[in-house]
Amino acid sequence: GRSIGPTINPIKDSTSELAILAKTGSFIVKERKSKRERAQQAKERAGYGDSKLGSVLGADEEPETKPYNKDETEAGEPTNEEAESIQKQRKLLPAFAVRSDLMRTIAENQVTVVIGETGSGKTTQLTQFLYEEGFGSNLSSNGERRIIGCTQPRRVAAMSVAKRVSEEMNCTLGEEVGFAIRFEDKTDPKKTLIKYMTAGILLREILADPMLEKYSCVIMDEAHERTLDTDILLGLFKQLIRRRRDLKLIITSATMNADRFTHFFGDAPQFTIPGRTFPVEVFFSKNSNADYVEAAVKQVLTIHLQNTKNQKNDGDILVFMTGQEDIEITCQLLQEKLDLLENPPPLDILPIYSTLPADLQKKIFSKSNSLKRKVVVATNIAETSLTVDGIKYVVDSGLVKLKVYNPKLGMDTLQLVPISIANAQQRSGRAGRTGPGITYRLYTERATEEDKMYVQPIPEIQRTNLTNVLLLLKSLKVNDINQFPFLDPPPKDLLNCSLYELWSIGALDNLGELTELGKAMTKFPIEPTLSKTILLSSRPEFHCSEEIITIVAMLSVPSVVVRPKERAAEADLAREKFLISESDHLTLLNIYTQWETNLRKFKNNYYKINSWCNKNFLQLKSLLRAKDIKNQIVLIMKKNNFPLTRSKSDEDVRKCLCASFYQQSAKLVKVNVGGATEFLNLRHSYMKMYLHPTSSLIGSTPESIYVIYHELVLTTKEYMNVVTVVDPLWLLEYGSKFFYIADKYKQRIQSVVNIDLPDRSDIERALERDTHEFEKKQEA
């Protein structure tokens, strides 16, 4: 092939990137180093040593799982007896006792902050109270019925709470009570009066309906979690409530943070639901534990064996771990240790993390059993969003996995860090819900002193990629981001990098305003780079939107490939027949296409397609979800008259991917450096990156040595995830913002290929000018 390898250089210095980021100085290098150091220090000072961090992939992030049978979430018809018992339970909740006072406060104020212990009935009861007060039948200015909305920071919570409330109200889920999460809307525009949704859904609704005419009141639930979407919503509401005086806003919060919300909304009243909590005794570890998993297992067994007299369970145990991996190891170790005992008292070991299948999640809610103790091993999902009844003992690892975005590298890393003091208190509190409890902290008391733990957790807005919400705010005509009322503003460098990212993909123009492309991107509920790919693919030049939509759908679900450790070789062999050697993206497309062909062949027969998937080591649930997402994207395409086109060659698809991912490109350096294939990042040429061991490119000798990648993940190495080989000339053509050809090579290349090469100085001049204007505008 044509090799113009050494002649492509990233544009350095004096150009837009560094100029814009000049304020941050040597941010990249320092940041990487200090983050690693900090993570290490965090571990050391907490005395955790080199713990079982393992892979940071597959940790407890937003779940994308959904049961095969959609109706699994449907409310079953409760029997009369069940319905009665549910109503009885309702009346026992602390919220019920203060119903009239609470409703009066809400009636008299536009904004109310509601504080209450977990389990007091905020999430399930507030909506129903408001409904009973007639908030579901208010009329909007154009005579339409207004509804009650309730936002949740997590999808799992939105779904499970909607189901619970539909049961309490004795109606079918999706009718009077419904939920909406990304790519799944289980509401009925005519019938739904109570709508649970993720905060992200409401944010997108504001795009189409800036006054939120549809709602008579909105409950922002669990605002204390301070997720990015919640924080942005808070800022938007601060402006909106002045324009819609009849809109009620209710913010619920655990005790921590409540004052912040009150001040933010100009002394909004606080209503505290009196809690019914019992004292919790707290024990710290005497020494720091080298391995928190082992320490937790030991603690659970001690509790279990010391407190089981005459086979009687005196209370269940809740263990706080950090993610799927350590939860699974903990459960496994517990079982192994129990099996070593002769005739041990029975113990039910139940894991819970958000990607766990829904039917297994439900198990933790099963009634406590006086003969069999239950130990629930959970992520921080059990801190506030899920209430497990009957817990007497809490075992707290003191750690959490936090997603931290490094804006310069465009990379999220999951870091194991000590929890904050507020989180530690929240975790302990879970032991005192039904009676006096005991918390065992697996860290020393000293670890909580001397400024070693944060008082409050760091809000997500200060540590995450902001491109998505910035694009949204720009579409909402929030032109000057610095004027936006943030509860806590994001750090300036994070803001600048995200703005720069939007400019570099063409969503913002040189003046920092939304381009036509940028406007079109907001039509899709996906990250900007992926929506750009879809938009480009429907242009005649690329003509491959059908393929790209499938690829985007496949990138939006958890891994479709199964690779169990004990059958790894078998799984790799099965995967081989799907491999397209120059592209992981095309491999994903191929897997999907073959799967869909078989699905059709089997006439949607669940058992047949399931066994086909098992044979091929594929995850049926993820593929079904991808199909769903694909259909939804197609609907958006049709609604906006974006053409659906089928490609004539794989090359078109790769070109299109190159045109949207040129900012994430790399060049092969060495095959097999200590078992890994080493690349150099083209944008930050000092940064080494590696081909992921599961990449389709492994083992083949790529003709070209340039690739674009979907994302970078840091596990044991900086791995590129989902990679496609591209022609370097494409990088020049589509990525002229970043790449040029050195003058000395220009002639040689022009004699080989017939393209109109831009003059380097022209590009540099243009970029300098652009940057200058862009910056001026941002600063103004």
Query: Burial code of 318-335, b = ≥16 C-beta within 10 A, e = fewer?
Result: bbbbbbbbbbebbbebbe
Is 116 a binder of ligand CDP (CB under 6 A)?
yes
Amino acid letter for position 387: T
Closest approach of ligand CDP to the CB of residue 322, in Å: 22
Alpha-carbon Rg of the chain, whole angstroms? 27
- Give the one entry of ligand CDP, Mg ion, none that residue 121 binds, where binding means its C-beta sits below a cut-off of 5 to 8 angstroms depending on kind: ligand CDP
Look at the block and give the residue holding tokens 């807005």.
461
Nearer to ligand CDP, 156 or 548 (CB): 156
Closest approach of Mg ion to the CB of residue 385, in Å: 7
Question: Helices (H) and strands (E) in the chain — how many of each?
Answer: 27, 23
d(CA 281, CA 283): 7
Nearer to Mg ion, 116 or 418 (CB): 116
Closest approach of Mg ion to the CB of residue 108, in Å: 24
Nearer to Mg ion, 117 or 231 (CB): 117
SS3 24: helix
- Give the one entry of Mg ion, ligand CDP, none that residue 610 binds, where binding means its C-beta sits below a cut-off of 5 to 8 angstroms depending on kind: none
Closest approach of Mg ion to the CB of residue 457, in Å: 17
- Binding mask 272-311 toward ligand CDP (x if CB under 6 A, else -) reads ----------------------------------------
* Residue 437, token pair as written in the block: 């409890």
- Give the one entry of Mg ion, ligand CDP, none that residue 160 binds, where binding means its C-beta sits below a cut-off of 5 to 8 angstroms depending on kind: ligand CDP
Per DSSP, 759 falls in state: P
Stretch that binds ligand CDP, among 74-82, 112-120, 444-452, 472-480 (CB under 6 A): 112-120
Is 122 a binder of ligand CDP (CB under 6 A)?
yes
Stretch that binds ligand CDP, among 4-12, 114-122, 212-220, 410-418 (CB under 6 A): 114-122
Closest approach of ligand CDP to the CB of residue 480, in Å: 37
- Give the one entry of ligand CDP, Mg ion, none that residue 119 binds, where binding means its C-beta sits below a cut-off of 5 to 8 angstroms depending on kind: ligand CDP
d(CA 738, CA 16): 9
Is 315 a binder of ligand CDP (CB under 6 A)?
no
Stretch that binds ligand CDP, among 122-130, 182-190, 714-722, 742-750 (CB under 6 A): 122-130
- Give the one entry of ligand CDP, Mg ion, none that residue 161 binds, where binding means its C-beta sits below a cut-off of 5 to 8 angstroms depending on kind: ligand CDP
Nearer to ligand CDP, 184 or 221 (CB): 221
d(CA 111, CA 124): 19
User: What is the C-alpha end-to-end distance of the chain, expressed in Å?
Assistant: 49
Overall size of the chain counted in residues? 780
Is 120 a binder of ligand CDP (CB under 6 A)?
yes
Nearer to Mg ion, 123 or 253 (CB): 123
Look at the block and give the residue holding tokens 């409401």.
202
Look at the block and give the residue holding tokens 């525009």.
189
SS3 744: helix
Total of residues contacting ligand CDP (CB under 6 A): 15
d(CA 557, CA 579): 19
Stretch that binds ligand CDP, among 105-113, 117-125, 191-199, 574-582 (CB under 6 A): 117-125
Closest approach of ligand CDP to the CB of residue 252, in Å: 7
Nearer to Mg ion, 123 or 556 (CB): 123
Is 528 a binder of ligand CDP (CB under 6 A)?
no
- Binding mask 368-387 toward ligand CDP (x if CB under 6 A, else -) reads -------------------x
SS3 116: strand
CA 36, 40, 41, 46 torsion-angle sign: positive
Closest approach of Mg ion to the CB of residue 659, in Å: 45
Amino acid letter for position 271: F
Q: Which of 20, 75, 93, 624 binds ligand CDP (CB under 6 A)?
A: 93
Nearer to ligand CDP, 308 or 368 (CB): 368
Phi-psi region of 196 (alpha: psi -120 to 50; beta: other; left: phi over 0): beta
Stretch that binds ligand CDP, among 119-127, 177-185, 520-528, 677-685 (CB under 6 A): 119-127
Comparing C-alpha atoms, which of 357, 349, 395 is closest to residue 373? 349
- Give the one entry of ligand CDP, Mg ion, none that residue 462 binds, where binding means its C-beta sits below a cut-off of 5 to 8 angstroms depending on kind: none
Secondary structure E strands in 595-687:
665-673, 676-681
d(CA 101, CA 273): 10
Give the Cα-Cα-Cα angle 412, 413, 418 (nearest 5 degrees): 135
- Give the one entry of ligand CDP, Mg ion, none that residue 166 binds, where binding means its C-beta sits below a cut-off of 5 to 8 angstroms depending on kind: none
Amino acid letter for position 3: S
Closest approach of Mg ion to the CB of residue 122, in Å: 5
- Binding mask 128-167 toward ligand CDP (x if CB under 6 A, else -) reads --------------------------------xx--x---
Nearer to ligand CDP, 124 or 704 (CB): 124
- Residue 562 in contact with residue 591, Cβ under 8 Å? no
SS3 111: strand
In DSSP terms, 514 is beta-bridged to 508
d(CA 399, CA 396): 8
d(CA 285, CA 292): 11
Closest approach of ligand CDP to the CB of residue 93, in Å: 6
- Contacting residues toward Mg ion, per CB under 5 A: 122-123
d(CA 495, CA 508): 14
Nearer to ligand CDP, 252 or 550 (CB): 252
d(CA 137, CA 447): 53
Burial of residue 337 (number of CB atoms within 10 Å: 0-12, 13-18, 19+): middle
d(CA 289, CA 298): 11
Is 123 a binder of ligand CDP (CB under 6 A)?
yes
Q: Which of 63, 119, 200, 390 binds ligand CDP (CB under 6 A)?
A: 119
Burial of residue 699 (number of CB atoms within 10 Å: 0-12, 13-18, 19+): exposed
- Binding mask 389-428 toward ligand CDP (x if CB under 6 A, else -) reads x---------------------------------------
Nearer to Mg ion, 273 or 613 (CB): 273
Nearer to ligand CDP, 251 or 514 (CB): 251
Closest approach of Mg ion to the CB of residue 278, in Å: 19
Residue 636: its H or E element: helix 620-639
Q: Which residues would be at the binding site for ligand CDP (CB under 6 A)?
A: 93, 116, 118-125, 160-161, 164, 387, 389
